[in-house]
Amino acid sequence: MTESQRYEVLMLGWEYPPHISGGLGTACEGLTTALAPLGVGIDFVVPHLYGQEHAPHMRLNSPDQSLRELDPLAWGSNYADGATASDRLMVSPDGVASLRSALQETLLYETRADGGDENRATQQGDNRRVRAVEHTRIQALLSPYLRPEDYSYLLKALEEGNDAVLHELLGPTAMLFEPDSASSPVDARERAAQIARGDAPGSSPHYGDNLFGEVMRYAERVAVWARHKRPQVVHAHDWMTFPAATRVAELHGIPMIAHVHSLEQDRSGDGANETIVGLEGAGLRAADRVIAVSHYTARMINQQHGIPFERIDVVHNGAYARKTVSAYRSESADDRPMVLFLGRVTYQKGPDYFVEAAAKVLQVVPEASFVMAGNGDMLPRLKDRVRELGIESSFSFPGFVRGADVERLFSTADVYVMPSVSEPFGISALEAMSYETPVVLSRQSGASEILHHALKVDFWDVNKLAGQIVAILRYPELRSSIVDMAREEVRRVHWEAAAAKVKQAYERALKGD
Amino acid sequence: MPSVCFYFEVHQPYRVRPYDVFQIGRDHQYLDEKLNAEVMQKVARKCYLPANQLMLDLIDRYEGRFKVAYSLTGVGLEQMHSYAPEVIESFQRLVATGCVELLAETYHHSLASIYDLAEFREQVAIHGRLMRSLFGVKPTVFRNTELVYNDDIAREVAKLGYLGMLAEGADDVLAGRSPNFVYRSAGGELGLLLKNYRLSDDVAFRFSNGAWPEWPLTADKFARWIHGTGGDADTINLMMDYETFGEHQWQETGIFAFLEHLPGALLEHPDWSIKTPSETLEAYAPVETLPYPRTTSWADVARDLSAWNGNEMQARAIERVTTLGDRIKRRKDSAMLALWRKLTTSDHFYYMSTKWFGDGDVHAYFSPYESPYEAFINYMNALTDLEKQVDKPLPVTSARGVPTNATIASSRTPASAPVPTPGSSVVVPKVVDPRAATSKDGSVRSA
């Protein structure tokens, strides 16, 4: 780990707090906040800024604002050095025209927004203003992190131009959108691939009046904006930003990281939008490395898009574990309460206290099951002890587990127990908490010093340890109260670990691993 | 002519001792005798005794012009009787001056007004008997646990024959009106005295806060603020925990000096006087009817019940203990009933609050438990044992693993309360709650 290594990263997102429609903005805030102290300089780009964003740890940009700063008056005419806008911006003349109209629309919208809520009144008088309003609304509201049902509902409404649904979802000033020919399912996949490569018919990205139009508009603007930047890595969060990242990576010849917080298939199931799936896949294939928020997501990326596992880094971010958890929980048919130990089966981890406590728990909760996952020198002795106590039918020893099995265990456990005799920190307690599993941990761990929302016990106090396990198994209210409160706490702490892994992914990408 | 009304709450809960799941069915002592004794003795030394002495001195000095009101919970008085009987004597001396009014409340400082009205009436009645036997008074003004109030409770309290009630002067309820007048309850039956929470909390919470722009708060400054309301006030109702003096605000902060100088500073203004709650209700006609659209309390910024029932653990614990009530009562075991009632004290649920846990705030300060989760586990384990006892076939066996000295045991039976001759300073231990009189079952010993 090269902690002293500094990186300059161009990071592409779709939203940033406080204006967020889902978890992506929050995740980006958590990750960048933790990355900055590790020596990562971040230029973060979102389609639009609202002015209330607070991100002192990095440079937060919107290409709109920056374009205006670049050269607001020369826009559309030749520059002083004789270059045309097309040269300067490295896009085709058609592209310039589109960008120009996009910019004007944005400016118009902002003017109108300042002038109050007169959107309706302008509908007939100046159609373009109305459309500008639409674009901005789409940017603000169309996020893959709406609830899946709302999302597919909204998407369908957009494609069909269903005014009533839009009205319901977007409010009374929502306008009718024209369906975009590009999203016709027949050639959607091919079209998406073209768009992602930047060689769509007409040699210019198509600007539609829908989400895909916004995605392409964003890609175009970012590509222009990024010309003056010198990033070492471009890091894109989810499919909306993949086309932009692909352009920037090509422009600068730098590695691209595609970060998958969720897949279209996860969000929409059978109603997945083909165009989005196409853009997603193209971005993932173009990326040098892929970051998945769970092993579960990594598996899906591999299955759906054929990305080999060796190109995927799994970085749990805490905020998205819920999806993974419910996926595993619904797979699991076992409704016996499960108590988990996961770690090396060595003296330091206190596995013997786990076994002794288990015997006591079973006196009160006979249906409980205990999983001791891990290997170590104490394992044979503890297996003997379990037999001696006559509780082998309640125990399982899966040995060393990794990847998806770890996720499955954390997700399906009812309590995670960390009875360490001595533990500098104990990251597994945080890990368990990020799967919404309540934790009993020893006071002799570093984690117990910083965590409030866990039960704590001296490792030698087997009675109390057993009592706490029983309480969590018996009282769902205790469990849910702990989990509710732990969610925020663990998120903050967990981002620090996530950021270190992300930095390692940058390293690998730069080395061409 | 406006006046000031001082009201102080005096209460200590019976804390539940560390009680694990393996004790269930084996060990029926739930209360933390050692801790409860320690806390009572500490608070007596730091607050009750010095503050009472100061009140006596002030009453002497101002010859009837300085007055205060208290409500003393039954569970608090029981523990005074067990661990610091001299505190009861000093309250008796205070009441004997005629300048001290005692208010009614639930004996067990419970939330029964919200969850179990029949039980509420009983706990109020038991408290009433204690006030009569211990102090020879019959309160006419009611104050509910933690100032919990809504229109239904007011109706219930009116039915019990009280003339007035205290409530929080919550902003959203007042909706622009002033807390500094007497109001009428929604049903029209009760006079309402509303806590002026800004001025009250200046003393109770901000007094020693060096970051507060008004710090340090002097009696003269505070009296000036109160006098400044003149012309737009009938009564400034200052309501707070009595433990503010010397316990929440330590003696070193100057809180006693503040208290000592406050009556003089207030009475210096010829228009102002100091009145007790019943005098205040008598002196001023209600300005209007004040309906409460929600349940209020004096806790936190929200001034609602969320500190007691805001999370799932709290809701569950309250539900479990409340449902047990009927089964306990059917059993006609007075000791068991008395023990159950101790578990209805609101503090048990407050300890389970997760609001701001981890921020080192006021909730944590008052809790004897490491975390709200520990508080819940302990409480539920003890309650589970009690439930099992209730379900056991009659008759209950006696004296299970407890001291045998019958005299001590009966004098310390938790539902018992000391009864002195009114006006005298002699405390004669005697059982007040008749249903608690017969049991020698050590399992319910409080002391």
Task: Quote the pLDDT of residue A381.
Answer: 96
Residue A471 to residue B354, Cβ atoms within 8 A: no
Farthest-apart Cα atoms in chain A, separation: 89
Residue B436 pLDDT level (bands cut at 50, 70, 90) = very low
Task: Quote the pLDDT of residue A114.
Answer: 38
Residue A468 to residue B315, Cβ atoms within 8 A: no
Last residue of a domain, one of A279, A294, A323: A323
Residues of chain B positioned with their CB less than 8 A from the CB of A453 = 354, 357-358
Whether pLDDT at A76 is above 60: no
CA distance B311 to chain A (A): 7
Cβ A436 vs Cβ A413: under 8 Å: no
> Domain residues for B329?
307-436
Residue A450 pLDDT level (bands cut at 50, 70, 90) = confident
Task: Quote the pLDDT of residue A21.
Answer: 59
One domain for residues B288 and B373: no
Cα dist from B304 to A308, B71, B169, B249, whole Å: 56, 21, 12, 24
Its sign, for the CA torsion B110, B111, B113, B115, is negative
Name the interface residues of A facing B (CB cutoff 8 Å): 360, 363-364, 452-453, 455-456, 463-464, 466-468, 470-471, 474-478, 480-482, 484-485, 489
One domain for residues B188 and B279: yes
Cα–Cα distance for residue pair A62/A56, rounded to 1 Å: 15
Helix (H) or strand (E) holding A259, with range, is: strand A256-260
Its sign, for the CA torsion B251, B252, B255, B261, is positive
One domain for residues A371 and A235: no
Whether pLDDT at A476 is above 90: yes
Tens of pLDDT along B189-237? 999 999 999 999 999 999 998 889 999 999 999 999 999 997 889 999 9
Cβ B398 vs Cβ B375: under 8 Å: no
Q: Which of A449, A462, A480, A481 to mutate to test the interface with B (most CBs of B within 10 A)?
A: A481
Q: Name the average pLDDT for chain A.
A: 74
| AA identity, residue B203 | V
Residues of chain B positioned with their CB less than 8 A from the CB of A484 = 311, 354
Cα–Cα distance for residue pair A44/A235, rounded to 1 Å: 9
One domain for residues B324 and B254: no
Its sign, for the CA torsion B356, B359, B360, B362, is negative
Cα–Cα distance for residue pair A42/A350, rounded to 1 Å: 42
Task: Quote the pLDDT of residue A155.
Answer: 53
One domain for residues A129 and A64: no
One domain for residues A157 and A297: no
Question: For residue A176, is it within any domain?
Answer: yes
Range from A70-84, A94-108, A293-307 carrying the lowest mean pLDDT: A70-84
Question: For residue B121, is it within any domain?
Answer: yes
Helix (H) or strand (E) holding B3, with range, is: strand B3-10
Which DSSP letter does residue B194 get? E
**Mean pLDDT, rounded, for B20-35:** 95
One domain for residues B250 and B376: no
Residue A481 to residue B21, Cβ atoms within 8 A: no
Place of tokens 């929440």: B248
Task: Quote the pLDDT of residue A2.
Answer: 47
Q: How many domains does chain B have?
A: 2
One domain for residues A427 and A477: yes
- Residue A117: which of A95, A133, A100 has the closest Cα? A133
One domain for residues A265 and A356: no
Tens of pLDDT along B242-273? 999 999 889 999 999 999 999 999 999 999 99
One domain for residues A343 and A251: no
Range from A166-170, A503-507, B395-399 carrying the lowest mean pLDDT: A166-170
Residues of B marked active site are found at 146
- Three-state SS string over A431-458 comes to HHHHCCCCEEEECCEHHHHHCCCCEEEC
- Residue B88: which of B127, B54, B122, B44 has the closest Cα? B44
- Residue B193: which of B164, B172, B231 has the closest Cα? B164
One domain for residues B143 and B255: yes
One domain for residues A334 and A359: yes
Task: Quote the pLDDT of residue A446.
Answer: 76
Task: Quote the pLDDT of residue A164.
Answer: 58
Cα–Cα distance for residue pair B420/B417, rounded to 1 Å: 10
Q: How many domains does chain A have?
A: 3
Residue B376 to residue A360, Cβ atoms within 8 A: no
Cα–Cα distance for residue pair A308/A310, rounded to 1 Å: 5
Query: Which residue of chain A comes nearest to B25, CA vs CA?
Result: A364
Cα–Cα distance for residue pair B79/B11, rounded to 1 Å: 10
Task: Quote the pLDDT of residue A466.
Answer: 98
CA distance A478 to chain B (A): 6
One domain for residues B71 and B180: yes
Tens of pLDDT along B275-312? 999 999 999 999 999 999 999 999 888 899 999 999 99
Of B21, B316, B354, the CB nearest to A467: B21
Whether pLDDT at A90 is above 50: no
Residue A481 to residue B313, Cβ atoms within 8 A: yes
Q: What is the dihedral of CA B352, B36, B95, B63, to 10 degrees?
A: -90
Question: For residue B447, is it within any domain?
Answer: no
Residue A478 to residue B357, Cβ atoms within 8 A: no
Task: Quote the pLDDT of residue A51.
Answer: 72
Farthest-apart Cα atoms in chain B, separation: 68
**A326 or A182: which leads in pLDDT:** A326
Residue B373 to residue A455, Cβ atoms within 8 A: yes
One domain for residues A242 and A103: no
Question: For residue A2, is it within any domain?
Answer: no
Cα–Cα distance for residue pair B350/B307, rounded to 1 Å: 6
CATH number at residue A476: 3.40.50.2000
Cα–Cα distance for residue pair A419/A445, rounded to 1 Å: 9
Task: Quote the pLDDT of residue A179.
Answer: 29
Tens of pLDDT along B82-124? 999 999 999 999 999 999 999 999 999 999 999 999 999 999 9
Range from A33-37, A144-148, A251-255, B114-118 carrying the lowest mean pLDDT: A144-148
CA distance A21 to chain B (A): 26
Task: Quote the pLDDT of residue B63.
Answer: 95
| AA identity, residue B115 | Y
CA distance B112 to chain A (A): 22
Question: For residue B72, is it within any domain?
Answer: yes
Residues of chain A positioned with their CB less than 8 A from the CB of B372 = 481
One domain for residues B346 and B314: yes
Residue count of chain A, please give it.
513
Question: For residue A15, is it within any domain?
Answer: yes
Task: Quote the pLDDT of residue A231.
Answer: 94
Last residue of a domain, one of A140, A163, A181: A181
Question: For residue B430, is it within any domain?
Answer: yes
Residues of chain A positioned with their CB less than 8 A from the CB of B364 = none
CB-defined contacts A:B, below 8 A: 65
Residues of chain A positioned with their CB less than 8 A from the CB of B375 = none
**A37 or A73: which leads in pLDDT:** A37
Percentage, residues of chain A above pLDDT 70: 67
**B14 or A98: which leads in pLDDT:** B14
Whether pLDDT at A122 is above 50: no
**B58 or A37: which leads in pLDDT:** B58
CA distance A335 to chain B (A): 22
- CB count in 10 Å sphere of residue A18: 12
Of A363, A364, A452, the CB nearest to B357: A452
Residues of chain A positioned with their CB less than 8 A from the CB of B320 = none
Residues of chain B positioned with their CB less than 8 A from the CB of A476 = 312
Residue A485 to residue B377, Cβ atoms within 8 A: no
CA distance B402 to chain A (A): 23
Whether pLDDT at A117 is above 60: no
Range from A396-400, A479-483, B178-182, B393-397 carrying the lowest mean pLDDT: B393-397
CATH number at residue B271: 3.20.110.20
Whether pLDDT at A150 is above 80: no
Whether pLDDT at A71 is above 60: no
Question: For residue A503, is it within any domain?
Answer: no
Range from A197-211, A462-476, B306-320 carrying the lowest mean pLDDT: A197-211
ipTM of the complex: 0.83
One domain for residues A61 and A146: no
One domain for residues B396 and B261: no
Q: What is the dihedral of CA A430, A432, A438, A444, to 10 degrees?
A: -50
Alpha carbon distance, N-terminus to C-terminus of chain B: 49
Residue B326 pLDDT level (bands cut at 50, 70, 90) = very high
Residue B312 to residue A481, Cβ atoms within 8 A: yes
**A484 or A49: which leads in pLDDT:** A484
One domain for residues A469 and A349: yes
Q: Name the average pLDDT for chain B.
A: 88
One domain for residues A193 and A127: no
Q: Which of A361, A439, A450, A452 to mutate to test the interface with B (most CBs of B within 10 A)?
A: A452
One domain for residues B201 and B285: yes
Last residue of a domain, one of B306, B321, B348: B306
Of B21, B311, B381, the CB nearest to A481: B311
Task: Quote the pLDDT of residue A422.
Answer: 80
CA distance B19 to chain A (A): 9
One domain for residues B299 and B313: no
Q: Which of A453, A477, A479 to mutate to test the interface with B (most CBs of B within 10 A)?
A: A477
**Mean pLDDT, rounded, for A251-271:** 85
Residues of chain B positioned with their CB less than 8 A from the CB of A483 = none
Tens of pLDDT along A391-414? 999 999 999 988 888 889 999 999
Query: Which residue of chain A comes nearest to B314, CA vs CA?
Result: A477
Cα–Cα distance for residue pair A212/A192, rounded to 1 Å: 9
Task: Quote the pLDDT of residue A448.
Answer: 85
Task: Quote the pLDDT of residue A70.
Answer: 39
Tens of pLDDT along B340-388? 999 999 999 999 999 877 554 555 567 899 999 999 999 999 999 999 9
Last residue of a domain, one of A181, A209, A238: A181
Task: Quote the pLDDT of residue B262.
Answer: 97
Residues of chain B positioned with their CB less than 8 A from the CB of A455 = 371, 373-374, 377
Residue B358 to residue A452, Cβ atoms within 8 A: yes
Query: Which residue of chain B comes nearest to A469, CA vs CA?
Result: B21
Question: For residue A512, is it within any domain?
Answer: no
Task: Quote the pLDDT of residue A183.
Answer: 34
Residue A455 to residue B354, Cβ atoms within 8 A: no
Cα dist from A5 to A31, A39, A290, A508, whole Å: 18, 7, 21, 13
Last residue of a domain, one of B306, B338, B362: B306
**Mean pLDDT, rounded, for A272-290:** 90
Cα–Cα distance for residue pair A217/B60, rounded to 1 Å: 83
Question: For residue B19, is it within any domain?
Answer: yes
Range among A57-71, A88-102, B135-149 rated most confident: B135-149
One domain for residues B349 and B273: no
Whether pLDDT at A204 is above 90: no
Residue A174 pLDDT level (bands cut at 50, 70, 90) = very low
Query: Which residue of chain B comes nearest to A480, CA vs CA?
Result: B312
**A361 or B404: which leads in pLDDT:** A361
Residue A481 to residue B315, Cβ atoms within 8 A: no
Residues of chain A positioned with their CB less than 8 A from the CB of B22 = 360, 363-364, 463, 466-467
Cα–Cα distance for residue pair B338/B33, rounded to 1 Å: 16
Residues of chain A positioned with their CB less than 8 A from the CB of B358 = 452-453, 485, 489
Question: For residue B446, is it within any domain?
Answer: no
Range from A103-107, A329-333, B345-349 carrying the lowest mean pLDDT: A103-107
Last residue of a domain, one of B253, B278, B306: B306
Of A360, A468, A484, the CB nearest to B377: A468
Question: For residue B36, is it within any domain?
Answer: yes
CA distance A473 to chain B (A): 11
Token pair, residue B70, equals 């208290």
> Domain residues for A438?
326-492
Question: For residue A152, is it within any domain?
Answer: yes
Of B21, B372, B380, the CB nearest to A364: B21
Name the interface residues of B facing A (CB cutoff 8 Å): 20-22, 311-313, 315-316, 354, 357-358, 370-374, 376-377, 380-381
One domain for residues B212 and B108: yes
Residues of chain B positioned with their CB less than 8 A from the CB of A470 = 21
Question: For residue B444, is it within any domain?
Answer: no
Cα–Cα distance for residue pair A440/A408, rounded to 1 Å: 19
Task: Quote the pLDDT of residue A186.
Answer: 30
Residue B311 to residue A360, Cβ atoms within 8 A: no
Question: For residue A269, is it within any domain?
Answer: yes
Residue A210 pLDDT level (bands cut at 50, 70, 90) = low
One domain for residues A312 and A409: no
Whether pLDDT at A209 is above 80: no
